Structure 1
Amino acid sequence: MIERADYFAAKLAYETDASDLYARQKAGDAVVVVDVRSDEAWAQGRVPNAVHMHYSEIATRAKAEIPVGTEVVVYCWSPGCNAGAKGALEFAKLGYQVREMIGGFEYWVREGYPVADAEGDHRRPVDPLTGVPRIRSRV
């Protein structure tokens, strides 16, 4: 039983999800969000205020751009992409407190959180399978 609890405690120490990250951003928590995807993916949309740093550039750029000791959350496209894990590994090797946002940008968008792109910040429609349902009052 303790092994399972240890496993899940460790998992939560190294992962976060879109809803928890959004809540932390709204609360003003000091966390740097890093998009580790390609330039093309970044241009299609990203988490507002995220830093763009492809996972292959982290070893050479991170310490110059993000103070060591800063909490970092990385993300890639989706659950089917392992670039987030690659990015998290690079930050961890450099000594950062890092978490990977499970579900990636796909679930950020599907849950209806703000998206930034060349046109500014906006929201896309919430996917009813993943987003929080809105309760309609009965009149």
Structure 2
Amino acid sequence: MRTRSNVRDHEPARSATALRHFEARLSFEADCADVYADMLAGVQGFTLLDTRSPTHYAAGHIPGALNLPHRRLDRDSLDLLGVPEDDLLVTYCAGPHCNASTRGAVRAAALGRAVKEMPGGLVGWEAEGFPVATGDEPQSLASMVRLGR
């Protein structure tokens, strides 16, 4: 007699269905390590948005990220920040327990903007050992890495 399995309680999806699902997830998400590598390499064409409050941003944020609380994300605020119209927006917030990045991604998509969410947020970024900036300004990631922070 086979022991009941929580893992196999539901049959896994067929390979073709699983492929579509996981490929689609990559269209919606960018992980911390990929964002870090691209930022460090100076890859252009995306803007990292911290969708938390200015207070939380100042306490600690990803270097190079712009602060744009999800409730304020609109065309005017993106224009004021100088975000190019054709940039991919990558939203993040505190971490898995926070949905500000999802709310920001919804607002960006409603504006017709290309957007991905960074799962894990700041918690995931820090867990990877990547540097964190403080203050009101988006310090350069490359300069922080050069300084050994």
CA deviations on 1:12-36 (whole Å, 9 max, x unpaired) are 1110111110011112111211000
1:6-25 map, 5 Å: 6-25=20-39
Q: Is the 8 A contact 2:51 2:68 kept in 1?
A: yes
Structure 1 vs Structure 2: percent identity of aligned residues? 34
Count residues with an aligned counterpart.
Answer: 123
Amino acid at match of 1:103: G
Residue of structure 1 aligned with 2:117, choices 95, 100, 121: 100
Map 1:40-119 onto structure 2 (within 5 A): 40-59=55-74, 60-65=76-81, 66-118=83-135
Cα distance, 1:7 vs structure 2? 1.0
Give the secondary structure class of the aligned counterpart of 2:30. Answer: strand
Q: Are 2:61 and 1:32 aligned? A: no
TM-score, structure 1 normalization: 0.81
Q: Which has the higher contact order (CA 8 A, sep 6+)?
A: 2
TM-score (norm 2): 0.76
Report Cα offsets for 1:84-137 as digits up to 9, x if no partner.
Answer: 1110111111122111000001111121111111397574xxxxxxxxxxxxxx
Q: Deviations over 1:55-88 (max 9, x none)?
A: 0001241244322211111100011111111101
Match of 1:137 in 2: none
SS in 2 for 1:3: helix
Report if aligned partners of 2:57, 2:135 keep a CA contact under 8 Å in 1.
no
Larger radius of gyration: 2
Matched letter for residue 53 of structure 2: S
- Do the aligned partners of 1:68 and 1:95 also contact (CA within 8 Å) in 2? no
Tell me the SS of whatever aligns to 2:130: coil
Q: Name the CA distance, whole Å, in 2 between partners of 1:22 and 1:84.
A: 17
